[in-house]
Chains A and B, each alone.
Chain A
Amino acid sequence: MKTLEFLIQRLAKAAFVVLGVVILNFLLIQLAPGDPAAVLAGEAGAGDEQFIAQLRAQFGLDQPLYVQLLSYLQNVLSGDLGYSYRNQVPVADLIMERLPATLLLTGSAFLFSLVLGIVLGVLAAYKRGSLGDSLIMTGALIFYATPLFWVALMAVLVFSIHLDWLPPFDMESIGAGYTGWARVMDIAHHLVLPTVTLGLFFTAVYTRLTRASMLEVMNLDFVKTARAKGVPKGRIIRRHVLRNAILPVFTFASVQAGQLVGGAVLTETVFAWPGIGRLMFDALMQRDYPVLLGVFLVTAAVVVLVNLVADLLYRFVDPRIETAG
C-alpha cells in the first residue's frame, strides 16, 4: 500500500519535472545564437531573404514565441516530437533508431564499471596496506583524474593502430554482412574499446567508494559481533561488510544509470558510435532544434525514471528506508 502510494506521488511529480524540463529546454534553445532557417538556406545554397522567410513560415518559426511553445507542448503531449529539418524524418523515428546503440554501449559500460569497481574495491579493502591495494588505488586515481577523451584517443592509438587488436570505430564491420552469432561477436568486438573508455572513470569511482565504505563498515560493532560468533573471515566480508558497504555504491550507481542515454556524447563521437550522443552532437552543429529538443526530452525522462526506480530499489537494498514522500 505504502509502495503504491509512493509510486503514485512520485509519478505525478516526475510528470511535472519532465514538463518543466521541456519548457526550459525550449526557452534555452531560443537563447542560442544562430537561426535554423539561415543554416538550412545556407546549405541549400540560396541565401536570399525571401527564401529564408519562406522556410521560417514553413516551419512555423515566424510565430511569436509563446505560440511556438504552446504548439510544441501540444505536440509533445500527443506523442509527436516534431520533424527534423535536416534529415526530413520524424524526430521520434530518429531517436528510436539510435537508442538501442546507445543503451548497448552505456549499459555495458555500466555493468563493466560496477562489477570491476566493486571487485577491485573489495580486494583493496581486504588486502589493505598491501602492494595490491596500492596498485589498485593508484590505478583508480589515474583513471579518476584522466580526461575521458584522452583515454579514448590513447586507447585507439594503442589497441587499434599499433596492436591492431580492436576496431577503432563504428558499431559493426561495414559491408561484412554478418548475421546471427557472427554479427553478435562482431558487435561485441567493436564494443570493447568504447565500453572500457566510457566505464573507466566510473570504475575508479566505484573502486574508491567501495574500498572506503568497506573499511568504514569493518570497524563497526556488528562486524565484531560476527567475529565473536565465529563467522569465518570470507563470510564476514561477503555477508556482513560488503552487504552494508554497498549502499553508497548503489547511490552512485543510480547517478551513473541516470546518464544511460545522455552520458556518452564524447565517447560516441570519438568512436563514431551511431547512438543518441552523436545524434545530439550533429543536431547541435546543424541547428536541428527539434532533434535536439527530442534528445533532451528523452534524456530527462530517463533520468527521472531511473531515479524513481532507484528510490524504489533502495527499499530492498536497505530495509531501514521507508519510501515516504
Chain B
Amino acid sequence: MKPTTPLLKVDNLSIELPAGFDRKYAVENLSYTLEAGEILCVVGESGSGKSMTANAIMGLLPSYLKPSSGRILLNGRDLLVMSEQELARERGRTVSMIFQEPLSALNPLMTVGEQIAEVMLVHGEGDARSRDERVLELLDYVGLPDPASLRHSYPFRLSGGQRQRVMIAMALALEPAMLIADEPTTALDVTTQAQILELIRRIQRAKGMGVLFITHDFGVVADIADKVVVMEKGLIVEQGTADDVLNRPQHPYTRRLIAAVPHPDESATRAEAAGEPLLEVRNLQKTYRSGGGLFTRPRIVKAVDDVSFTLRRGETLGVVGESGSGKSTLGRCILKLTDVDGGEIRYRGKDLVPLSQAAFRPMRRHLQMVFQDPFASLNPRHTIGRILTDGPVANGVPMDEAQKKARDLLALVGLDPSAYDRYPHEFSGGQRQRVGIARALALDPELLVADESVSALDVSVQAQVLDLMQDLQKKLDIAVIFITHDLRVAAEVCDKIAVMYRGAIVEAGPPAEVFNAPRHAYTQKLIAAIPGRHWNPRAAVA
C-alpha cells in the first residue's frame, strides 16, 4: 500500500487564549490524523478544548481566538493559510459540520427545504429544479417521513431528532469527504440518540466519509469510534484505537473518566427498605390543555396518567423517561408546584392534594427539590450563605442557628467554609449543584425530589455528586425521587425504577430486574438504545 495523504492531519496545532484566562492555550500541540472511512472520537469534559479543533477546521473560531502555530491539512492543503473565500468554498463542499443543539442550529424563519437547498445554491450546484429533487432525495435518505410536505415545514414544527436529521441532510447535500459532528446527540433522548448514531454510521460507511465526532460520552465512543483522542485541559493525554483506549486505558485521566461512566452494578443487591411508607401516590392525574377557541378543540395532553407508587424512608425511586414523558410534571405535582387533576398524594398518611397552598406551606420544608440547572437555580445576587439560610429563617429558625447549620451543611456537601460569603458565579457547575443539595437539606427534609440533578454535569463531576447524594441519604435516612432520562444513572443509584412513557408508569421494579428482564416493549427499546451497552467500563479499569 502506497503512503497516501490522510484526509485530515492536525499537526502541532496551538490556539492561544487571550490574557486573563486560567490557562495560556485553549489547545496546545494537538496532533492527530483522520483517514477517509474512519470515525475519530475526540473525548473530553467541558473546557477540555475538544470542540476547538473542529471550529478551527471550519474557520468558526471566535475572533479573539487565533491559531498561533501548527497546521490543519485537509487533503494536504493547509486550511489555516486559506483566504475567507477559499474557506467558504470548502465549507459544506469538502467538510460539513453538525452541531449539538438541533433546536437552535436551524434558521427558525426558513423552511427546512430552503435551508438544505441553500447549501447547493451558494456552491453553485444545479438549478432550482435539480436542487428541489436533491432536497427530496436527501430528506428521504436521512429517514424523514413524507419529504414532499416536510420540506415546506419550518424547523419549529419538527422534533429534536427530526431537526438533527435535517442538519445531517444539509451536511450531506454535496457529499463532503469529511463530516464534523460536535456532540450531535447530547441534547437528544436516548432512543433518538441511538437512531441518529445509527444514521451517522450508516452514511459514513455508505459514502466512505471521514467523521470527526466530538463527545463527552464514553458510551457513544464505545458504539461508534474507530480511533479515540482523549483531551484534558487543551492537551491530548491519550490517543489510539477505540479498543485500546476503551479497554486498556493508560493515562490516569482516561482511567478516571472511564471509571466515572455510570454502569449498573449487577452484583450489588440492596437491602429492602422497610417500615412505614413515607409517600404514597395513588392514581395521580394531571392534564395540560392548550389552545382552543370558538371553532377549534383544545389540545389535551395527559402529562401524568394514573400514576401510583409508594416510597419509604431511606429509599430512592428512579423515575426514568424521555422528554415529554411527564416525569418532571410528576415531580412538580408531588411538591404541589403545579395543580393536580385527580388522585392522592399521601405524605405520612395525609393527603396533600386537597390542601390549599397556605395549609401546605408548613409542610413544604419536609419536601424539597434539587433542580436540573445548577446555573439557573441559584439567585446570582445572593451569597451562598444567604441562599442556605433563607429557607430555615423563613420557617422560623433563629438567624444564628441557621447560619451555624449552613456552615455545617457546606462541610457536609464537601465545600470549603469560605464558600459561605461567596456568590454562585464563583463556583463550577458541580460545586453549584452541591450548593443546591445543601439548600434542599437546610430544611431537614424527609423527601428530596432530584429533577435531572446531574444531567448538566460532566461524568466525573456527575459521579461525585451521585456519590454525595447516596452518602447523604444513608446518613440522613431521607427518601429520594430521582428523575432522570439516563437509565444508566438510575440503575446505579436507585432502589426502585419506574419507567414513564406518555404520562404513565409502564414498568416498575428493582434496577436489576428492569435492566435484565424488561417486560414492557418501551423499556426494552430504552435499554437497547443505551450507548455502549456491550462495553463494560468497570472491566476496563479493574
Contacts of A240 in B (CB 8 A): 107, 110
Known A2-B296, A229-B122, A230-B119; contact A221-B291, beta-carbon cutoff 8 A: no
CB distance from B298 to the nearest CB of A (A): 11
CB distance from A239 to the nearest CB of B (A): 7
Of B104, B110, B119, B294, the residue contacting A239 (CB under 8 A) is B110
Q: Which stretch in A87-95, A96-104, A316-324 binds the other chain?
A: A316-324
Of B96, B97, B107, the residue contacting A222 (CB under 8 A) is B107
Q: Which stretch in B83-91, B250-258, B528-536 binds the other chain?
A: B83-91
Contacts of A220 in B (CB 8 A): 104
Known A243-B109, A244-B108; contact A227-B293, beta-carbon cutoff 8 A: no
Contacts of A318 in B (CB 8 A): 108-109
CB distance from B477 to the nearest CB of A (A): 45
Contacts of A8 in B (CB 8 A): 294
Known A220-B104, A221-B105; contact A229-B154, beta-carbon cutoff 8 A: no
Complex formed: what's the CA distance from A227 to B92 in Å?
A: 9
Number of interface residues of A (CB under 8 A): 30
Complex formed: what's the CA distance from A57 to B294 in Å?
A: 49
State whether B107 touches A226 (Cβ < 8 A): yes
Q: Which of A6, A224, A244 has the most CB of B within 10 A?
A: A224
Known A221-B101, A239-B110, A320-B108; contact A228-B293, beta-carbon cutoff 8 A: no
Known A1-B295, A230-B93, A320-B156; contact A222-B104, beta-carbon cutoff 8 A: yes
A130 proximal to B (CB < 8 A): no
Chain A interface, >50% SS class: helix
Complex formed: what's the CA distance from A319 to B155 in Å?
A: 10
State whether B295 touches A222 (Cβ < 8 A): no
A325 proximal to B (CB < 8 A): yes
B58 proximal to A (CB < 8 A): yes
A164 proximal to B (CB < 8 A): no
Complex formed: what's the CA distance from A106 to B156 in Å?
A: 37
Q: Which of A222-240 contact B (CB under 8 A)?
A: 222, 224-233, 235, 239-240
A80 proximal to B (CB < 8 A): no
State whether B122 touches A225 (Cβ < 8 A): no
Complex formed: what's the CA distance from A325 to B298 in Å?
A: 13
Closest to B54 in A: A228
State whether B156 touches A227 (Cβ < 8 A): no
Complex formed: what's the CA distance from A8 to B101 in Å?
A: 39
Contacts of A325 in B (CB 8 A): 293
Per-residue interface assignment for chain A, residues 242 to 253, with 1 indicating a CB less than 8 Å from any chain B CB and 0 otherwise: 011000000000
A63 proximal to B (CB < 8 A): no
Contacts of B91 in A (CB 8 A): 227-230
CB distance from B371 to the nearest CB of A (A): 24
B123 proximal to A (CB < 8 A): yes
Of A5, A230, A231, A235, the residue contacting B296 (CB under 8 A) is A5
Q: A239-B107, A320-B154 provided; 11 other pairs, C-beta below 8 A?
A: A5-B296, A220-B104, A221-B101, A222-B107, A222-B108, A224-B99, A227-B91, A228-B60, A232-B88, A233-B84, A318-B108
Residues of B within 8 A of A (CB): 58-60, 84, 88-93, 96-97, 99, 101, 104-110, 118-119, 122-123, 154, 156, 167, 170, 291, 293-296
Give me 26 A-to-B residue pairs in the complex whose CB atoms sit less than 8 angstroms apart, sorted by A's number.
A6-B293, A8-B294, A220-B104, A222-B107, A225-B107, A225-B167, A225-B170, A226-B107, A227-B59, A227-B60, A228-B60, A228-B96, A228-B97, A229-B92, A229-B170, A230-B89, A230-B91, A230-B92, A230-B93, A230-B122, A230-B123, A233-B84, A239-B118, A240-B107, A244-B108, A319-B156
